[in-house]
């Protein structure tokens, strides 16, 4: 408790934050509800078709999974391995944010599967030779772990939290590995078919999660305003900088190997990614805005909390481009041995030109609205009381 008793300046007056977040979340749910209705009751799957069956929804799902697992793994590493001071009381916020990301991810991927109400069949008639089955089981187990951990935080069961932490670490790594393997084992798609994909997913998860941890620390740390709070933010910024650099080196190595090999099936996907119709999503949104700008802020603005916050916001908000640029280029071109299939038949569902339509965007808006609304309610009714109790304890210790 020494870190909190040193300077507990947590801002309790968050009623305006709660009302604004709740209104924004409910408006997003209302705006996106029509898209969910069209998927569930009209069978509308947007711009997806036979050639490009995975698109925006799968990409957002992967992005949210990276966030949820990356936050948990990053938090444990920063707290227990790297011994970063000042984040030990941020645990409940991290767990609540992870639960919200997970719920939104499951809702969105349920829409992509087309029959979300048949999910029970994956448990009753499980096929453990399928990566999809492992993904569903691992995600359900992970959700249970997070809910129990949040309950333990709220009731101050420190020993239970420690035990859950040790289970959460391998469970999180396994979940990311399974999702990476879901793509990596598809031999018909050479752009994905690589043993390094689960590791690439793990690194991406840690980068995205660390960025969100920094943002949550700046917004919700119970030591806000203290010197420990500022020092912790700088430490988190430093770790995020190195994580970004490692990710850049890994991406560059993958690019060089793919272009050097020049295997047609892989090279075409890479060409489509870098110079195709969505080149701007890589070079402008991801590289310039989401990577180089945050890196510049983290290096030259490392002593400024505003610069660190801007870097975290830019990284978190643009990181969705990473799974988008993994998933869509792997599908949006015919394999070399079927190069003329795009011209053999003409139908709106038989096209390699994919861009999400309004139904897909509305479903994503609904899912993000669910996440924001859940976080606002959870923080207002549970986390706020948790931090108020810590403040009372800190005040009693000081007196």
**Per-residue pLDDT tens over the stretch 92-108:** 999 999 999 999 999 99
- Position 64 pLDDT exceeds 50: yes
| CA-closest candidate to residue 296, choices 282, 278, 315 | 315
Pick the CATH number of 21-398 from 1.20.1630.10, 3.40.50.300, 1.10.490.10, 1.10.3230.20: 1.20.1630.10
pLDDT score for 5: 40
Between residues 33 and 390, the one the model is more confident about:
33
Query: In Å, how far are 1, 121, 224, 342 from 41, measured between CA atoms?
Result: 52, 20, 47, 30
Q: For the segment 289-331, what is each residue's pLDDT rounded down to a tens digit? A: 999 999 999 999 988 999 999 999 999 999 998 888 888 776 7
Between residues 289 and 341, the one the model is more confident about:
289
Q: For the segment 179-202, what is each residue's pLDDT rounded down to a tens digit? A: 888 777 776 677 776 667 778 888
pLDDT score for 159: 87
Q: For the segment 35-54, what is each residue's pLDDT rounded down to a tens digit? A: 999 888 888 887 777 677 78
pTM exceeding the 0.95 threshold for the entire prediction: no
Between residues 328 and 357, the one the model is more confident about:
357
Residue 337 backbone phi and psi in degrees, to 5: -75, -10
Structural domain boundaries of the chain? 21-398
- Position 162 pLDDT exceeds 90: no
Residue 312 backbone phi and psi in degrees, to 5: -65, -45
Report the Cα 185 to chain-centroid distance in Å.
Answer: 22
Q: For the segment 257-289, what is each residue's pLDDT rounded down to a tens digit? A: 777 777 776 777 777 778 877 788 889 998 999
108 in Cβ contact with 364 (< 8 Å): yes
- Position 10 pLDDT exceeds 60: no
3 in Cβ contact with 223 (< 8 Å): yes
- Mean predicted confidence (pLDDT) in 347-355: 71
- Position 399 pLDDT exceeds 50: no
- Mean predicted confidence (pLDDT) in 221-232: 83
pLDDT score for 228: 86
27 in Cβ contact with 342 (< 8 Å): no
């Amino acid at each position: 408790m020494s870190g909190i008793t040193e300077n507990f300046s947590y801002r309790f007056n968050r009623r305006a934050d709660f009302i604004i977040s709740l209104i924004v979340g409910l408006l997003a749910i209302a705006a996106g509800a029509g898209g969910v209705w069209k998927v569930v009751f009209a069978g509308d799957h947007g711009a997806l078709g036979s050639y490009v069956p995975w698109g925006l929804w799968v990409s957002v799902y992967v992005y949210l999974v990276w966030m949820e697992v990356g936050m948990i793994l990053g938090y444990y590493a920063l707290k227990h391995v790297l011994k970063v001071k000042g984040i030990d009381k941020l645990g409940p916020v991290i767990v609540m944010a992870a639960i919200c990301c997970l719920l939104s991810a499951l809702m969105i991927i349920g829409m992509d599967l087309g029959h979300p109400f048949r999910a029970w069949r994956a448990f009753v008639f499980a096929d453990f030779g399928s990566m999809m089955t492992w993904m569903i089981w691992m995600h359900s187990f992970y959700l249970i772990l997070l809910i129990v951990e949040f309950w333990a935080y709220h009731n101050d069961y420190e020993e239970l939290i420690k035990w859950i932490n040790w289970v959460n670490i391998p469970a999180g790594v396994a979940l990311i590995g399974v999702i990476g393997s879901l793509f990596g084992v598809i031999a018909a798609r050479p752009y994905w078919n690589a043993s390094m994909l689960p590791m690439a997913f793990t690194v991406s998860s840690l980068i995205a999660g660390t960025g969100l941890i920094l943002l949550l620390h700046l917004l919700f740390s119970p030591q806000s305003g203290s010197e420990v709070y500022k020092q912790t933010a700088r430490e988190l910024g430093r770790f995020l900088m190195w994580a970004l650099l490692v990710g850049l080196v890994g991406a560059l190595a993958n690019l060089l190997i793919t272009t050097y090999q020049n295997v047609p099936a892989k090279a075409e996907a890479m060409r489509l990614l870098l110079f195709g119709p969505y080149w701007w999503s890589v070079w402008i949104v991801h590289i310039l805005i989401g990577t180089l700008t945050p890196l510049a802020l983290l290096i030259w603005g490392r002593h400024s909390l505003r610069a660190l916050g801007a870097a975290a916001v830019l990284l978190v908000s643009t990181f969705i481009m990473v799974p988008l640029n993994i998933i869509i280029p792997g599908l949006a071109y015919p394999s070399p041995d079927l190069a003329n299939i795009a011209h053999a038949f003409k139908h709106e569902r038989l096209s390699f030109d994919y861009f999400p339509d309004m139904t897909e965007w509305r479903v994503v808006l609904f899912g993000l609205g669910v996440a924001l609304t859940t976080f606002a309610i959870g923080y207002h009714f549970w986390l706020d009381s948790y931090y108020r109790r810590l403040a009372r304890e800190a005040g009693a210790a000081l007196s």
